[in-house]
């Protein structure tokens, strides 16, 4: 386990944890549910999102073997069938409105075992979640070629005209019934919205009218792959042709090693509505040239060109030195769609060299970091408020609409609050416009603690502001609360004086601070004052209205202070 962890780290991956199905279930659902689950050891490996070629066991093992120099990177070969014998996928113009692109390929004489089959399905699922953006950009369909006859047609029809037996179902349904059927399916319901409101649904037929799939929702049951499948027809449809090509290349390069002639893929022809044809998969190899000194300079090492070429070859980028040693020529295989720019090649060279082997040096530039003045002020105030006997609380920046409006006797429109468009829970509907509800909720959760309760928080609040580029603005507020059998207004007032003393703001009108009687919906009539400093109103202090206190499920009187500390920075 430790050796493997070390190997993963060297290869630029992270062995997240070593676990088993049983452990996972017992962690999530308790030990009762985990009875009978498998004890087989599972490695949970974190793969960077750009490395689609490491998303299945086949690719990962191949990558690690090449890295360890036990095997050479296989060469992938596209076999073009004789004229008239290959598979064709004809795209009709009806698809243009919904999913215009399609690519296809065939894996001939493949041998599946249970593990290979599971890995094959699992890779499709991982690609769907990752590069396919939950099937929005690309949807993958894999079919048993011996159950159907080409040429195939990719078209779009009205939902009522499409009728077939979906995967693992016992009867035929129309497309609209299929939508209803999967509305409650925990896995498939997330994809329905992609085509649900479109007038036509995409669908793929064979020459006898058998439905292969209705992308991006479900395949037909007729073409289902099993362990005995020998020939696999793969089609990827989508709205992004580049991503569709990458997905197709990834699947065929990963699983062509199980074909009778390993690492060969039979090409398929796609016919577009304008009559043009294109052969897929592209399986394109391309070469890039990079100067060795560029690699050395970027990483901060001094390796010879030939050893850099060797490092890159270990990362599945077959390289050799050309010219008189001043260029490295790198062949990018079709599995490495993530190599877009020279810096991607440099990154791989650095991984193979080993990040831990790069000598640490002091940077050439000399800069002195400094704390943001507002944060520095907040930190200093936190220490002194704690010294004054108040306990710091940290509460959520999001809250419900009631918390900042109804419970404080205000209208939601008057608060200028920023709303969350699609809140997951009622507790997190808006960004807070005041720190008070958070502290009141904290007290409500700690009613069994001995009185008095003295809490404070210094954090940001958010309000709408049309004058900023993002339409909202943050203010750093200080809020303190005193909860006891008597209101204790003098304690909160004393705290305000102490804060002003620390900020060196004198208690006068000219250049200091004053408090003036005011009214606030959340406060007891005649027990509220507005605080003015630096010539502006910075907040309020006072005794809370009994209605507010009961709405937060409290029973004792309570006095509060809330001010904006930004003017004092």
| pLDDT, tens digit, 9 for 90 and up, residues 197-219 | 889 999 999 999 999 999 889 99
Q: Is 156:163 a contact under the CB 8 Å cutoff? A: no
Decide: helix, strand or coil at residue 116. Answer: helix
CA atoms of 557 and 488, how far apart (whole Å): 8
The mean predicted confidence, pLDDT, of the chain is: 91
Q: Within a 10 A sphere around the Cβ of 411, how many other Cβ atoms?
A: 9
| pLDDT, tens digit, 9 for 90 and up, residues 78-128 | 999 988 888 999 999 999 888 999 999 999 999 999 999 999 999 999 999
CA atoms of 417 and 477, how far apart (whole Å): 15
CA atoms of 493 and 516, how far apart (whole Å): 12
pTM for the predicted model, two decimal places: 0.68
And the tokens for 221?
A: 């049951």
| pLDDT, tens digit, 9 for 90 and up, residues 129-142 | 999 999 999 999 99
User: Helices marked H in 446-537 — which ranges?
Assistant: 489-502
- Residue 30 pLDDT more than 80? no
CA atoms of 69 and 54, how far apart (whole Å): 17
Q: In Å, what is the CA distance from 11 to each residue of 123, 336, 355, 372, 506?
A: 20, 15, 10, 38, 62
The pLDDT value recorded for residue 39 is: 82
| pLDDT, tens digit, 9 for 90 and up, residues 293-329 | 999 999 999 999 999 999 999 999 999 999 888 899 9
Q: How confident is the model at residue 370 (pLDDT cuts 50, 70, 90)?
A: confident
Residue of 2, 45, 1, 41 lying closest to 23 (CA atoms): 41
| pLDDT, tens digit, 9 for 90 and up, residues 169-184 | 999 999 999 999 999 8
CA atoms of 187 and 305, how far apart (whole Å): 50
What DSSP element (H or E) covers 350?
Answer: helix 342-353
The pLDDT value recorded for residue 254 is: 93
Q: Is 492:502 a contact under the CB 8 Å cutoff? A: no
Strand 232-238 relative to strand 264-271, pairing: unpaired
Q: Within a 10 A sphere around the Cβ of 550, how many other Cβ atoms?
A: 11
Q: In Å, what is the CA distance from 218 to each residue of 97, 145, 168?
A: 20, 17, 10
Q: What is the mean pLDDT of residues 513-523?
A: 90
Domains belonging to the chain, first-starting first, are 1-46 (3.30.56.10), 77-167+191-280 (3.50.40.10), 297-328+337-357 (3.30.56.10), 374-568 (3.30.930.10)
Maximal CA-CA distance, the chain: 96
């Amino acid at each position: 386990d430790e050796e493997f962890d070390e190997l993963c780290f060297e290869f630029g991956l992270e062995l997240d944890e070593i676990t088993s199905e049983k452990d996972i279930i017992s962690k999530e659902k308790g030990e009762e549910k985990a009875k009978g689950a498998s004890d087989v050891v599972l490695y949970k490996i974190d793969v960077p999102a750009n490395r689609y070629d490491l998303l299945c066991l086949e690719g990962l093992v191949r990558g690690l073997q090449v890295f360890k120099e036990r095997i050479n990177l296989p060469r992938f070969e596209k076999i073009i069938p004789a004229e008239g014998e290959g598979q064709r996928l004809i795209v009709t113009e009806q698809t243009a409105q919904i999913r215009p692109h399609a690519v296809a390929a065939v894996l001939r004489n493949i041998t599946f075992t249970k593990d290979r089959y599971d890995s094959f399905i699992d890779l499709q699922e991982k690609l769907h979640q990752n590069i396919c953006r939950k099937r929005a950009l690309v949807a993958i369909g894999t079919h048993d070629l011996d159950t159907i006859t080409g040429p195939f047609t990719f078209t779009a029809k009205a939902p009522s005209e499409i009728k077939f037996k979906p995967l693992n179902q016992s009867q035929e349904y129309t497309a609209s019934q299929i939508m209803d059927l999967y509305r409650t399916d925990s896995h498939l319901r997330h994809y329905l919205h992609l085509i649900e409101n479109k007038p036509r649904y995409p669908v793929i037929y064979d020459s006898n009218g058998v439905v292969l799939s209705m992308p991006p929702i479900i395949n037909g049951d007729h073409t289902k792959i099993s362990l005995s499948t020998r020939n696999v027809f793969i089609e990827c449809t989508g709205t992004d042709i580049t991503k569709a090509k990458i997905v197709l290349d990834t699947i065929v390069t990963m699983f062509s090693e199980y074909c009778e002639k390993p690492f060969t893929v039979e090409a398929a022809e796609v016919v577009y509505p304008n009559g043009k044809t294109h052969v897929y998969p592209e399986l394109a190899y391309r070469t890039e040239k990079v100067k060795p000194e560029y690699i050395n300079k970027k990483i901060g090492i001094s390796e010879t060109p030939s050893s850099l070429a060797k490092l890159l070859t270990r990362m599945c980028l077959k390289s050799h030195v050309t010219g008189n040693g001043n260029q490295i020529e790198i062949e990018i295989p079709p599995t490495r769609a993530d190599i877009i720019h020279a810096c991607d090649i440099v990154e791989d060279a650095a991984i193979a060299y080993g990040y831990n082997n790069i000598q640490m040096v002091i940077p050439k530039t000399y800069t002195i970091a400094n704390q943001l003045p507002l944060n520095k002020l907040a930190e200093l105030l936190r220490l002194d408020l704690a010294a004054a006997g108040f306990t710091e609380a940290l509460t959520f920046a999001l809250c419900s609409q009631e918390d900042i409006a109804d419970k404080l006797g205000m209208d939601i429109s008057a608060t200028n609050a920023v709303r969350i468009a699609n809140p997951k829970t009622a507790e997190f509907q808006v960004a807070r416009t005041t720190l008070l509800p958070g502290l009141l909720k904290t007290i409500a959760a700690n009613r069994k603690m001995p009185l008095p309760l003295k809490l404070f928080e210094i954090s940001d609040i958010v309000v709408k502001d049309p004058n900023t580029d993002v339409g909202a603005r943050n203010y750093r507020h200080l809020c303190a609360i005193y909860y006891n059998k008597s209101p204790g207004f003098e304690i909160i007032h004393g705290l305000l004086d102490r804060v002003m003393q620390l900020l060196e703001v004198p208690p006068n009108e000219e250049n200091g601070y004053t408090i003036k009687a005011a009214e606030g919906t959340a406060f007891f009539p005649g027990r509220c004052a507005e605080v003015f400093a630096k010539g502006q109103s910075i907040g309020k202090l006072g005794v809370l209205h009994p209605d507010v206190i009961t709405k937060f499920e409290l029973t004792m009187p309570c006095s509060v202070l809330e001010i904006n500390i930004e003017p004092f920075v």
